[in-house]
Every structure is written in C-alpha cells, then in structure tokens.
Amino acid sequence: MKTVETRVVEPDDADQRLDRWFKRHFPGVGHGHLAKLLRTGQVRVDGKRAKANQRLEAGQSVRIPPMDEAPAPEVRPARAAPKVDDELVERLKRAVLYRDRDVLAINKPAGLATQGGSGITSHVDGALDGLKFDARERPRLVHRLDKDTSGVLLLGRSQQAARRLAEAFRAKSAMKIYWALVVGEPRPSAGTIEGAIAKLPGRAGEKMAIDPETGKRAVTRYAIVERLGGKVTWVALFPVTGRTHQLRVHMAELGTPILGDGKYGGADAFLQGEGVSRKLHLHARAIRIPGMDGNSGGGRPLEITAPLDDHMKRSWKFFGLDEAAGRDPFEPFEE
C-alpha cells in the first residue's frame, strides 16, 4: 500500500512551476488529476495549500499523496539526447571565472538565456553537459540571471555543493552586487528601495510591477559610484531579496531607469543622439558566499568578480568611466 511521500525540491527544479515539476517527476499524473489533488489539499508545499502555477524554491517540501488513482504513465518513444552546442560550450569555457571541486562560476554574456523557454533554443542550461571538466556530475544551476543581464553565474559541481549554494541564497547569506548605468541621478545618493513586486496579469508577458497589495516583498539597496552631470549615473545595487526583474522595476520606480531598459523605462531609458549601446546596462559584478572558497582551505568566503560585458565596456569608455574606480564592489554596502 502506498503512503504519503515528501520530496524536497532540488536546486535544478528551483523557480519551476509546480505543475511542470509534477509532470517531470510524475509523468503519469494528468493535468486534471493534479488539479483535483491540489483542489482537495492533498498536494501541499511546505505544509500549505498550493496552486498549479506556484513557483517552487530549492529546499521546499512537496507533499505527495498516494498515487494509486493516478493513470499509468503513457509509454512514449525515448527521445534522443539533446545535441550539445559545441560552439556555445567553448564560449562558456572561455568565460569561466572560477573553478574548484564544488563551484563553477562563469561570466554569462548579455543576450544568452540561463534556461530554456518558449522560443529559446540556446541557453546555459543546455550546455552544462559540456562543462563537467574533471567532475562526474553535470553542474547544476543554483540561481538565474535575466537573458539581457551579464555577469557572475554560479553553478554547483555536485548535488551536495548545489544544495549548499542554494541554501546560501535562500538564507540570504549570499551577497550579490550589480553594476548599472541609469538615466538621471538617484536621490538620495544612497538608500533602500522597498516595493512589493507582482506579475502583471493578462498578456503583458513576464512583466513585473509594484503592487503593495498582492506583490511579494522586495528590497534593494543602492549607492552611487560615480555621477555624470545628472544625465547618467553609475550605481551599485544590492538586491536583499531576489524577485524577478527586481532591480529593473525598482530603479524605474525611483525615476532613474536602467540604461537600455525599454521594458520598464520606455523611451526614458534611452539617450537620444548618443553613441551608446541600446542594450541593457545591468551587470552582476560580484558574488560573495560565506565558507565556500574551496581553494583557500580555510573556509573563507568565496568572492568572485566578473569583468564588464563588451557593450558595457564600450559605454564606460564613451562616458570616460574607469572600471577600476569601483574595485571593491562590496564596499558601499559593508556595515
């Protein structure tokens, strides 16, 4: 007789919809049957009722009721293993910033998605089989960057390492610092933005907005690194929480949209008549993870810094900025 089962969400399944997680792990459970299990509260996440479109987080517990009533899995022909994009693998190997037995860090280029989705055929996740190096396991994603955001992307080189990294993100002991060029000048020069964020309904696509009533808590700290006469400002950003498009929404809400972010800043996010890239100027500059420096032997914090993406380097040069001026990206947020 089958009994109730509890499964822990692995880092590889983080940010995945509950119904898609079920389809992956229980392919014989149809949409209608799952809807009934959810409606009657037999499937729960962290002990609470859940909806099919709820996005899961690594470490959450999913209650699985006995599946005796579920239809037998449909037998389908085995799919051929996806073809690895060798060119992308080599590109990512050249972008490796750090590697030890537990952690792999790459400098993700702008324009490359972290994971697949509708209409996305080229992404980091699809190239991970080619990034094993000397490890037995395929590296695992533990967080994501937007397609148009460049910078540090961490991967766990084993299931155990991925869990440790994912827990650091969940516990907010991981510190991620972003650099951006914004249009205008934030006032005051440093501060904290608190604005709950929710996904817009309807056909707005994956677009988020400030919504105090239904949104999830979102907190961003910011500090000006260098001013450019009020027209453009170089800022450092520290997302205390990690909501979708959080930095982009918060900077637009402050009245200083990120340069090139037409999605949230509209026409105000672009400079007319300037020889500056129209790409998004947002870069994951550095990450600090406590006790994860496998090369130190002393359990020191792992700190990884990523050079600017090419389009941002050109903009820094255009505006006469010196990347070295922000040599310690954590400094504005040190207590």
Q: List active site positions.
A: 146
First to last CA, the chain: 56
Three-state SS across 211-264? CCCCCECCEEEEEEEEEECCCEEEEEEEECCCCCCHHHHHHHHCCCCECCCHHH
Query: Angle 201-48-65 (CA atoms, 0-180°, nearest 5)?
Result: 110
Q: At what angle do helices 18-25 and 31-39 cross, to 10 degrees?
A: 120
Count of positions (residues) in the chain: 335
Residue 84 CA from chain centroid, whole number: 23
From CA 3, how far away is CA 156, in angstroms rounded? 32
> Residue 26 — φ and ψ, nearest 5°?
-135, 70
Decide if 254 contacts 289 (C-beta within 8 A).
no
Query: Angle 58-148-175 (CA atoms, 0-180°, nearest 5)?
Result: 45
Residue 43 φ/ψ region, left for φ over 0, alpha for ψ in the -120 to 50 degree band, beta for the rest = beta
